[in-house]
Amino acid sequence: MSNLLLPTTVVGSYPKPKWLNRMIREYREGKLSDDIMEEAYKDAIKLVVKEHEIAGVDIIWDGEMRREEMTSYFAEHIEGFTIYGEVRVWGNNYYKKPAIVDELRYKDELAVGDFKYLKSITNKRIKVPITGPYTIVDWSFNEYYKNKEEAVYALAEVMNIELKNLVKAGADYIQLDEPAIPTHDDELEIAKNATEIVTKGVNAYIGMHMCYGDYRKIYPEILEFKVDQLDFELANKKFVDLKIFKEYDFTKDLGFGCIDVHTRRIETKEEVKESIRKAFEIVEPKRVYVDPDCGLKLLPKRIAFEKLKVMVEATKELREEL
Amino acid sequence: MKLITTTIGSYLIPRWFREYLKKVEGLQKEGEEAEVDKEVYKKAVVEVIENQNKAKIELLTDGQLIWQDFLAYLATKISGFEMDGLTRYFDNNVYYRIPIVKEKVSRSKPIILEEFSIAREIEKEKNIKAVLSCFTLAKLSINKFYKNEEEFILDLAKVMHEEAKELAKKTKYIQLSEPSLLYASKEELEMVKQAVEIITSNVDAKFFLVTYFESAEKIFPEVLDFKIDVIGLDFVEGYEKNLSLLKEYGIDKALQIGILDGRNTKMENVEEVKSKLKEILDIASPKEVYVSPNTGLEFLPWIKAYEKLEVLGKVVE
């Protein structure tokens, strides 16, 4: 899809500026008007875009300034979900776990507005990340549908509407975030069918992002999914997963997570170049997309920026060498 | 036959206490040694016990409110373990730190005794169940010390036995939470049988062996020979299979029936639950019957955890 060799991109999230977090808090306490909050989001997005531009990233997103998490944000915008409260993920970390309490229906847009705004302020190519139907259902309670499979398909239908609307608005690169897929290998068929439903009639380049799972459980079956690109977190486990992908011919484009987002240490340029070269053992360079392992939101903003910068510099040098 | 309402153990942590724990322990893996103020903890337990009492639960638990993660929490209290990275807890979207056993395990200090004593101070009349685990803790751990699994399990059983002896001074109800047992091999079942004998020997208490997340297919009929008083089965995930196991082998112990789905916010219909219970008790005639959710209630948001308790209370009424 891209003419540029080794296009650099992001998985999605970027650290929110401290002032934005403060404003979100005040907004929730009722201290700020909608207008002021709206302006703040837009200002924050401009800042994120500029930082991505300075870093030199080729394909960008808005840093998910409006999203707090990757499940409840979408659930809140879809008819049929409700949120009763938080549950624990581990230790003292909790998340708002949605519950499906009624038939799932399209309510309002999930990402079209964000896409349109981003398009109006940048000439960069845009990738739209959106949490996939399998993961949203896996991370929700199901009170309404007979089983998980039915719920996943129903949500896939709803999200298909959004994907089509995104294409109508001009989006040509959509990424489905599906970290839950590698966690239930017995449900791969459901995830595969859901992917087919959600991308049906969607005329765009489709990526699928997965992270922190056991890829052995999904490979090579995942190659049969109707997507153009598979994007993996790889740096976190020091690229040991690559040997899994070598066992079968990797027939998709490869999104190559080469920056560890769970350490504040900034990788060196040489190190990143060395990492990216490993991708060429799996697919030829023209099928490689370069990105960090996952969203950058948990890092301090300065470090996130430096990491993107070194990723781009390493890629540029590699392009020269190829 | 009298049905006794109870729970599996864990309860969602009250919101304010969660915020407190975040402050003391932080959000990362380093917080496990942080000191939790006893008075603050006590207030949280009061709330959880109140909820159980309001819902007319008869055999209580303390809610396991300072267990940062599931059974692996026990490892932070036992000498010989070190804690490693996070991994998924069965098929749930929740994680625990993997315990690594690096030395011979020993009980150098009380494990849950202190926190249990606080619940005891709060609730003086009703019975409270203390929750321990042996096999599951061993299975969830990485063994870097013991020559074989059996040695590890039996040593851990000795540790749990010491704890159980102390707990028995404060309660006559002790539960071993053992979801891993449902995936055990025949050889492992034999090991667990021995382990249970070690844990329970000369301890004056009623012992529960509680399983969840699956049917009990792999542990029947062997589990019937274990030296325990109450077997807990998951009748949400394994309704049909557990029914046929009871039909085939019967049960000469007490039975804890996990009948409400502790992992879904959907509320059960009281009448439907009653007819399921009836079906189970038409087949089996256990010595005593306890009724509970199939899993701990930590998987549910606060209001839903309480609603489940209420449904349970109504079922037995």
The answer to whether residue B26 neighbours chain A at the CB level (below 8 Å) is yes
Q: Is B302 on the interface with A (CB under 8 A)?
A: yes
**Mean pLDDT lowest among A141-145, A179-183, A201-205, B161-165:** A179-183
Enumerate helices (H) and strands (E) in chain B, giving the number of each. 10, 10
Q: Tell me, what amino acid is at B61?
A: T
User: Which of A84, A90, A138 is nearest residue B304 as measured by Cβ atoms?
Assistant: A84
CATH of domain A18-68+110-321: 3.20.20.210
The CB density around residue A33, as the number of other CB atoms within 10 Å, is 10
Nearest CB among B12, B68, B88 relative to A183 is that of B88
Query: Higher pLDDT residue, B73 or A98?
Result: A98
Tens digits of per-residue pLDDT, A246-305? 999 999 999 999 999 989 999 999 999 999 999 999 999 999 999 999 999 989 999 999
Computed over every residue of chain A, the mean pLDDT equals 96
Q: In chain A, what residues touch B93 (CB-CB under 8 Å)?
A: 89, 138-139, 180, 183
Walk along chain B (317 residues) and give the pLDDT tens digit of each residue.
889 999 999 998 999 999 999 888 877 665 556 788 999 999 999 999 999 999 999 999 999 999 988 778 899 999 999 988 878 898 888 888 899 999 999 999 999 999 999 999 999 999 999 999 999 999 999 999 999 999 999 999 999 999 999 999 999 999 999 999 999 999 999 999 999 999 999 999 999 999 999 999 999 999 999 999 999 999 999 999 999 999 999 999 999 999 999 999 999 999 999 999 999 999 999 999 999 999 999 999 999 999 999 999 999 98
Q: Taking Cα atoms as reference points, which of A254, A260, A267 lies closest to residue A314?
A: A267
Domain ranges in chain A are 18-68+110-321
For residue B124, what is the DSSP state?
Answer: -
Site from A88, A94, A136, A139 to mutate, B interface, most B CB atoms within 10 angstroms: A88
**How far is A176 from A185, CA to CA, in rounded Å?**
18
E strand map for B158-283: 173-177, 206-210, 230-234, 254-260
State how far the Cα of A298 lies from the Cα of A264, in Å rounded to an integer. Answer: 10
The whole-number pLDDT of residue A127 equals 98
**Interface pTM, i.e. ipTM:** 0.88
Q: Nearest Cβ partner of B299 from A87, A91, A180?
A: A87
Q: What confidence score (pLDDT) does residue B317 get?
A: 83
